[in-house]
Amino acid sequence: MFSYYLSLALRSFRRSKALSALMVIAIALGVGACMTTLTVFRVLAGDPIPHKSARLFNVQLDAESMRDYTPGEEPGLQLTRFDAEALLREARGVHQVMMSGGDVALDPAGSGRPEQTPFNVRARWASSDFFAMFEPRFLQGQGWSAADDSAQARVAVISRELSERLFGSSMSVGKLLRIGDKDLTIVGVLDSWRPAPHFFDLTLGAYSEAAQVYAPFQTAMALRFGTSGNTNCWGNSSVNDPRELSAPCAWVQYWVQLDTAEQREAYRSHLNHYSEQQRSAGRFERPANARLLSVMDWLLVRKAVPSDIRLQLWLAFGFLLVCLTNTVGLLLAKCLRRSGEIGVRRALGASKRAIFAQFLVEAGSLGLVGGLLGLALTWAGLWAVRQDGSAHAELARLDPVMLATTLALALLASLIAGLLPAWRACQITPAIQLKAQ
């Protein structure tokens, strides 16, 4: 019966081409606008590490002076180097990592590419658990060990893009990477990786690109490599170098993995106990105010998602609703024009259920055509978004999941729009229509 209903729908489209085209365009416009905005929202507000985001926690300690103190206010988003190293030594979590961003100049001549000129890349100085915690995929080699951290080993992990730029398609592991006038041995190459939002370091921007060079934190400090991101210092004494161990400056990000509720409660208690210890020692002035936020809570508190994105999403769904309302009106008009045809079918024995199914198939066919056109409009809309030049614009791409969602939304929307016209068609009385013919 479905093929029969489909043939009836095609005949109906041919008889009223203009009306059918208007309905297809209305569905396409609504779906295109909605899916463009939804795709951008999914990129910006999605879970960057969904399989373990509830087990990864950002650590905050309130180590600042009493100046401008407000009880209960949120602590700074970073730790001092002293506190980060103290927590790292205690290793109370399943995994823990201290880290900071950096910008470095690479010398391709030291990597065997003398024809290239030096260039700058983004780097990340981190402790060894970085790779186990955030799980980027390795193409070659592996990360460094905790022993390498302690020994200030001159090793590095680089991105796939940097590996191809420096060494082409050849094996990179074991080769030298020259940062300024210092050589580091490459021990691993990461596959393409760009978590969005860039949750583990929001100081560089929520949608910034991932680093291309990774090296042990202690190695970077020993070699005096530069750092990037926010630095917050306090106190009356002048600070010659905020990166010194004793400097009252917060600039280090610290994350911990805790797999159970018991681990989380124990770690939170430990942070408060540590804060009180440091207060007794005279380092902390403020009362204990430690925070432990999971990935999604952290992004929410830090307002990583642009404030206007949610409003745009609601407006897009509102526009889709307007388009569906217009489609319902057009389908009703089309139904009334076919009252005679429906009456004849009913007189020949077609049941109300058959008439209802016929009109739903017709509406679904319109939805599929509108969905294909809406898919083209979504691609066009996302292309326009990528021309914006903002940090997140490049991420706005239609993946297979959103492609399937676009077609499913178009079909669902058209079927919903077709319910009232289909029900109205079922109520047509055959006798009245036959007398009117």
- List pLDDT tens digits, range 199-220: 999 888 878 888 999 999 999 9
Does 195 share its domain with 74?
A: yes
- Residue-wise pLDDT for 370-386, tens only, equals 888 888 888 888 887 77
Q: Which residue has the higher pLDDT, 430 or 65?
A: 65
Domain end marker among 241, 257, 289: 289
Residue 294 lies in a domain: no
Q: Among candidates 285, 297, 303, which has minimal Cα distance to 61?
A: 285
Backbone angles phi, psi at 119, to 5 degrees: -145, 160
Instruction: Calculate mean pLDDT across residues 113-128.
Output: 87
Does 182 share its domain with 268?
A: yes
- Range with the poorest average pLDDT among 5-9, 80-84, 432-436: 432-436
- Residue-wise pLDDT for 140-157, tens only, equals 999 999 999 999 999 999
Provide the domain count of the chain. 2
Return the number of other C-beta atoms located less than 10 Å from residue 119's C-beta.
12
pLDDT confidence band for 433 (50 / 70 / 90): very low
- pLDDT score of 166 more than 50: yes
Half-sphere exposure of 42 (CA within 13 A, CB side): 15
d(CA 375, CA 237): 61
Position 422 scores a pLDDT of: 67
d(CA 25, CA 125): 52
- Expressed as residue numbers, the domain containing 160 is 62-289
First to last CA, the chain: 28
**How far is residue 236 from each of residues 66, 79, 247, measured CA to CA in Å?**
12, 19, 12
- Residue-wise pLDDT for 328-340, tens only, equals 777 777 666 666 5
3 state DSSP class of 123: strand
Does 24 share its domain with 107?
A: no
Instruction: Calculate mean pLDDT across residues 67-77.
Output: 84
d(CA 347, CA 436): 14
Mean pLDDT of the chain: 83
Residue 83 lies in a domain: yes
- pLDDT score of 109 more than 80: no
Residue owning tokens 């398609």:
169
Position 2 scores a pLDDT of: 61
Does 38 share its domain with 82?
A: no
Does 254 share its domain with 189?
A: yes
d(CA 365, CA 374): 14
Position 429 scores a pLDDT of: 60
Residues 104, 107, 108, 110, CA torsion sign: negative
Mention every residue, 6+ apart, whose C-beta is less than 8 A from residue 41.
Answer: 309, 310, 312, 313
Position 236 scores a pLDDT of: 64
Q: Among candidates 385, 401, 395, 364, which has minimal Cα distance to 316?
A: 385
3 state DSSP class of 289: coil
- Range with the poorest average pLDDT among 76-85, 238-247, 319-328, 348-357: 348-357
Position 330 scores a pLDDT of: 77
pLDDT confidence band for 434 (50 / 70 / 90): very low
- pLDDT score of 437 more than 70: no
Residue 225 lies in a domain: yes
Q: Which of 147-151, 279-283, 368-372, 401-405 has the highest mean pLDDT?
A: 147-151
Is the Cβ–Cβ distance between 217 and 227 less than 8 Å? Answer: no
Give, as one character, the DSSP assignment of residue 152: T
Does 92 share its domain with 221?
A: yes
Mention every residue, 6+ apart, whose C-beta is less than 8 A from residue 64.
Answer: 75, 76, 232, 234, 250, 285, 286
Does 260 share its domain with 347?
A: no
Is the Cβ–Cβ distance between 20 and 13 less than 8 Å? Answer: yes
Position 343 scores a pLDDT of: 60
Domain end marker among 221, 256, 289: 289
Give, as one character, the DSSP assignment of residue 392: T
- Range with the poorest average pLDDT among 69-78, 242-251, 392-401: 392-401
Does 280 share its domain with 159?
A: yes
Does 278 share its domain with 311?
A: no
Does 28 share its domain with 93?
A: no
Half-sphere exposure of 229 (CA within 13 A, CB side): 31
Instruction: Calculate mean pLDDT across residues 353-368.
Output: 75
